[in-house]
Amino acid sequence: MSGTFTAEDELIIRREFEQLRLASLRRCADQQQYDLVLKAFEFANEAHRNVRRRSGEPYIIHPIAVARIVVQEIGLGCKSICAALLHDVVEDTEYTADDIRSIFGDKIASLVDGLTKIKTALDNDNLKEQPASSSMQAENFKRILLTLNDDARIVLIKLADRLHNIRTIQYMPEYKREKILSETMYIFIPLAHRLGLYNIKSEMEDVWMQYNEPLEYKRIDGELERLMDAKGADIENFVSEVDSMLAGSGINARIIKRLKSPYSIWRKMQTKHIPFEQIFDTYAVRIIFEAKEGSSEREQCWQIFSQITGRYHYNPNRVRDWVSEPKVNGYESLHVTVMYMGMWIEVQIRSERMNSIAERGVAAHWAYKQGQPSGQGDVSMDRWLKYVQEILENPDANALQFLDNVHQELLTSEIYVFTPTGESRSLPKGSTALDFAFSVHSQIGCHAIAAKVNMKLVTLSTVLRNGDQVEIITSESAKVKREWLEFLKTSSARGAVIDALKDMSKDNVSRGMNMLREELSKRGIQMQTRVIRKLIDSYKITGGKDDLYNKIGIGLIDLADLDTVLKTNAKQRSVQMWGFKLLSNNSKKLAEQLKGEIAYHASECCHPIPGDKIGGVLEDDGSITIHKTSCPMYTNLAATKGDRIVAVRWSKHFMMSYLARITISGIDRMGILHEITNQLSNKLGINLRKISIEAHDEIFEGYIDLYVHDRADIDNIISSFAKISGIEKVSRADIE
């Protein structure tokens, strides 16, 4: 959008920049750096003159906002502020990277160039011929992470750019909004978490939830408001009591209170299958103290812990010690959950240095390394950054596999184990002895047959714990086994096994395809797409038809039950839809694939029903699989293969039934099961598929699988069940 700026536009620009100017003044080391920021603003302002964003505001507001996030929320300095102001100039105006270099110097030009390459990659939706195992978006994300090798500030500024895009996402068209939200959930949120930017991570998660689970977000947000109305005064009293207690002990501290975010509450409800009322740490109080000389920060944390637990009852199972062993991203804090006025409050204890690193992550970590006090968390952060560089060393790795590897590593925490000679090695939590073997050398892993952990002989699948000493036993005749993939944790080890198996099973796909064709031929069935798809669904194959053929070829799938599989009515049902829109800007190739009648299928991983917010994924056979947009599988696919995503909507004229699951629990009594089934069949007209109820010690729990027309049916069932005497909890659940 363009249009000559008005006097009001100019006033808005100057007002927005004034906030950045004041923040930069405090951050710049000298007048020369400050002048450079002013120069970068004037340059960017002129370059973007008379250009507007989709919201209608002057475009320069976006670079200013990104620069403010960079300095105020991440804590970067002069060069990063300048790069943020200039980050769209090369891509969107006539200025070149050489122009930036000649005016602002090599370092700022290098940062802008890295950001330009990322922006170009992410905005490039043109369909290109890609290998079957690759993806344009995966290649793009690989480029983003490769910038960590050049200068991690590029990734930090990109996170600031993405955060502002998320804050203004309501102005974006639907196709771009879904693409950005999926990318954000799949890679930018885990990246923000691993880099220690918790506030940015939390805000991105909440915006994602507002668009992908709007009803749940609104419900949880309402619950939080009601809680604050009811318990806000008690929280204030607790803070006042703790403040007085610490001041009386001569501890100089400030106390911050906060509510858990809607997304984090929703996520815990989903993973732990608990209602809102069972979230203990809805409230959190953060004690941030000024460290005293003469004793370590860790000792001072435990002194405050002793005072808190000496006055308030605490839950020993909820103590989290991240000062003795910081998280891999450098996070240090001591957490304890205490009881006050009938509610649980999480208390976080940390020094000013620890808090700076907790809020600003890797940026604060580097600041403290430059001449200021350091902590154990610095070592953890250095170790992780070194690890990232190691996994980026192979530039020819398959992009999708690369992205999955990095995604997994972003989500894991670490343990530390030792070689027989005492050398320390870090591994993701949950790693096995075989993971350790591959971390030493791929050949040791490939020829491993057993291990000794703390001098005791164990299997290769043994899960390691912090401090274990591990020795690997090998044999020259040993070979990799496919079943290793079932317990390997690290992506590098899994990748090595997969590569080795590829060499061992070169003809498996061809063999499996011929075996299947022969068996189908005996039954007079042609090997058509719909038949293959049915088998893929029935055998729960995730890697497509080649994966099916391969597993048949190596004997993991026995075709002896083929008749049964072919006759079984799959739970997956055709879904009648109307109106779809390709999310790729250049959609000619996809449009060709979508000519004629479209086959739609409800995904088996999330079982969407009418009323759920949904998205579609174009399959190789031209059909479209429907997922809930909050489904992790959909988020993965939308982030890595966004050119295959289509926008779909529920038809207003559906009369089909969809399989759903309701979980219930409560106090057992005579006749309660009859009331439940009577409510479903006679009053609600719902068809049952399966009931599984177990009772013990007068408590019952279980689930009901049933066929519904839409989400409204689910809401009616939950509302009706809640009125039955004895039922304590009822909720919708995913079908496994």
From residue 185, give the alpha-carbon distance in Å to each of 188, 264, 274: 6, 13, 23
> Distances from the Cα of 327 to the Cαs of 112, 281, 708, in angstroms?
31, 20, 45
CA dihedral 465, 469, 471, 472 (to 10 degrees): 20
**Cα 563 from chain centre:** 40
Residues 6+ apart with CB under 8 A from 619: 625
Strand intervals (E) in 261-342: 283-289, 320-321, 334-340
**189 burial level (CB within 10 Å; 0-12, 13-18, 19+):** buried
Which positions are catalytic? 91-92
The single residue listed with the structure tokens 């047959």 is: 449
C-beta separation of 464 from 433 below 8 A: yes
Q: Are the C-beta atoms of residues 608 and 573 closer than 8 Å to each other?
A: no
Q: Which residues pair with 337 in a beta bridge?
A: 346
Q: How far apart are CA 653 and CA 551, in angstroms?
A: 41
- Is residue 439 within 8 Å of 494, Cβ to Cβ? no
User: Which tokens sit at 313?
Assistant: 């009852």
- Cβ neighbours of residue 296 closer than 8 Å, sequence gap 6 or more: none
Q: Residue 624's beta-bridge partner residues? A: 600, 618
Tokens of 474: 């090998």
Q: Which tokens hold the place of 540?
A: 């729960």
d(CA 690, CA 582): 38
d(CA 438, CA 282): 41
